[in-house]
Amino acid sequence: MGDPARRRRGDGRRHVDAAFRSRRPRARPPRLLGPGRRAARAAAWVGALTEQLGLFPLGTVLLPTERIPLHIFEQRYQELIGECLDLDTHFGLVFADDDGMREIGTRAFVVDVLDRFDDGRLNIAVEGHERFRIVAETSGRSFLTAEVEPVGDEEVVSERSVRERALERFRKLGRVVESDVDEPDADSGVLSFELAARVDFGPERKQELLELRSEPVRLGIVSDLLERAAEAITLERALAEAAAQNGRGLQH
């Protein structure tokens, strides 16, 4: 992976191609850092003003609560992940593309080492936790580092009816694509992230959700995306069936 360009705000919008995630990391209990210690460190971190954090810029977005697999092959990132494993600490995953690296990212904990290779490469599973904002890039390490500050929601409570509607649309999409996906708890304080983590909306859209600081607004957007995804897939199938019928009608 090459070095990302200097940070710039990108607002590229693409058609949302939403489908349930077909591959998720193996569901193993986190064995590298106990939940009590992780929660204590998270609380301490949120209360801090800034922190220096090792960054891993990627062409993907990690949402809070989301688990994704990563293949670590560059030596500098092997060093970063090695330190996280040795010190039971975290790193920052930040979305980067042709428009540069974004300012808002997600703290990532390594929850499982899936494979270790003789040449130092790793396959790992990471879990997203709190969000952060890059304050200033720093130097002195082989990997990218920065001073970061915590980012939280300014509005955290969603109405019950909004949560139930989003969950029903999630179920509807599951029925449309005939996929049995685990459903998040309706009482989750980050239901929007939990739903978006289960559907592939693309990195640009996920980054937009990551940067929003209102759970009600974010959940409303996710709910609309779920509804539109189900409608688009239903229409696509209907058109495909109609085209197939027309093709058979021309045969003699």
Q: What is the pTM of this model?
A: 0.78
Flag whether pLDDT at 6 surpasses 60: no
Residue 7 lies in a domain: no
DSSP designation for 183: P
Number of H helices, E strands in the chain: 6, 7
Q: Does residue 97 sit in helix, strand or coil?
A: strand
Answer for the pair 90, 107: CB distance below 8 angstroms, yes or no.
yes
pLDDT in tens, 184-198: 999 999 999 999 999
Are 51 and 135 found together in one domain?
A: yes
Matching residue, tokens 């990997």? 143
Predicted local distance difference test score (pLDDT) of residue 47: 53
Are 52 and 83 found together in one domain?
A: yes
What is the spatial distance between Cα 71 and Cα 78, in angstroms, rounded to a whole number? 10
Of 132, 143, 126, 117, the C-alpha closest to 54 is 143
Are 204 and 176 found together in one domain?
A: yes
Last residue of a domain, one of 151, 186, 218: 151
Domain that holds residue 113: 35-151
How many domains in the chain?
A: 2
Predicted local distance difference test score (pLDDT) of residue 226: 96
pLDDT band at 236 (very low <50, low <70, confident <90, very high): confident
Residue 131 lies in a domain: yes
Tell me whether residue 133 is exposed, middle or buried, using C-beta atoms within 10 angstroms of its C-beta: 0 to 12, 13 to 18, 19 or more. Answer: middle
